[in-house]
A and B are shown apart, each in its own frame.
Chain A
Amino acid sequence: MTSQTPVSRLMGKRRFGEAKIIVHVLRSDPLSIFALAVIVLLVFTAIFTPIVAPSKTGSIFLPPSLSHPFGTDGLGRDLFIRVLLGARISLMVGILVVALSLLIGCPLGVIAGYFRGTMVDEAIMRITDMFLALPPLLLAIAIAATLGYSLTNAMIAVAISWWPWYTRLMRAQAASLRERPFVEAAKGLGVGEIKIVFRHILPNSLAPIIVQATMDIGSAILLTSGLSFLGLGAQPPTPEWGLMVSRGRSYLGSFWWYATFPGLAIFVTVMAFNLLGDGLRKALDPRLRIKRRLF
């Protein structure tokens, strides 16, 4: 091994081999494959439904049938189409919320962790604690109540209450990575601190973040649909799943399909992301890679 190879490039080589193993492990886990399939299906639905879907209407409150697989709602709109349209909204919500939380939380966390023990760390952690102390739903309610009820505001609310988790996660990762030999080596080679933080520590902390973020996409969808259910998020006529469930609530006894199917959609979607995240966690943890027998 030459001494000229930059540290990060060596790590890059290792990571490529890792990627192959990760894919292999994922492929062998039936639940992960299932989850991935569902998500791909969702993305497909999200992209293509607005384009190809016919706007079918029928009489109001039709039960599920061949022409209306999920029945119709109080305005006669086909629920199946509406649920499919909702996929796009929910996926966007999930991804945007997580992306926003990551954007705020990760850099803060890496900085706090790398400069652990200093004023910078303390300051960041105190602010984080303040936001962490707020139960997400409550903060979301408070913000939504202030800024008005809309899906965008609900998303902002969730992101604001969520970024502290990533900060904490990143901080723990960065703090432990800081002690590793390769960081010392980089410092010894004269690499500047900022560069170390962003070129070396950040990429290596990604594994648990990826796992968490994947599962959080599901949780974000769960939370924002909950807010919409309470009326604080999406407003009618948006085909948002949580909103549809709350609309359907009044017709529980007689027209059960109105509330059931959108909720089912939420369930399946969130579960897919959670399963995928769980499978990723297995795949990314080298210690879990022992093959075991089924019985």
Chain B
Amino acid sequence: MNRKKRKVSKARRLHRSLGAGAAIFVLFMVLSGLIINHSNGLGLDQRHISQSFLLDWYGLAKPENIHSFAVGDDWLSFAGSQLYLNEKSVATISGGVGAVSSGALLIAAGSDELLLLDHDGNLIERIPWGPIGAATIESIGLHEETVVSVKSAGQLWLADTQLLNWRQAYDASPDPLWAVSESAPGGLQQAITASYRGEGPSLERLLLDLHSGRIFGSIGVLVYDLLALALGFLSISGLVLWFRGRRNGKPK
């Protein structure tokens, strides 16, 4: 009889400790579930998170560096693999090196290609550098203020007016005026950072991810699965304890 009592009290203790542990989880699930049920009415699908740490958590990190180059009255900026004309993302480019303006053309140099744009940011042509020079592009500049010049593996290359053909310059050629990264106006840097990160996920998405554990990735979902199993166990152990209590309480 004592052994039976001990067994019951052990089950009761396990039920109690698991129940206490799960209470916070259950409360959170109830609360988040209620809010999710009314998310449209509360306008949570229209509101977007902007907190820096949450955006970082979702992988919408800030660009590591923004390199801006003044091209006439405009700015060409490299942020990650994005190229911006002022605040507008206009193309992707890898390894931004520099940018210059020559007549109606804006020329942005990446490590292995040149992008020609018009002043509205339309892509005119993507010129791969591989077929021209074997090495990567180190700098871009203007020779005698008009001729687009590129330095690659220490060699100077000069383009024709349409940037169709390139020729290697002699050593004696005067050095071009190389494009140098400048500090863009603060407002522009902020606008580029915001555009680079894009619109964050909605509050509804955040709640759904918290509710399902997906915010913590695959491991979060696994942990939530284990907690759900623990809740299932609690229901069964609760029922068992209740039946036993009823049976033991019955007058013989």
Answer whether A and B are interacting partners: no
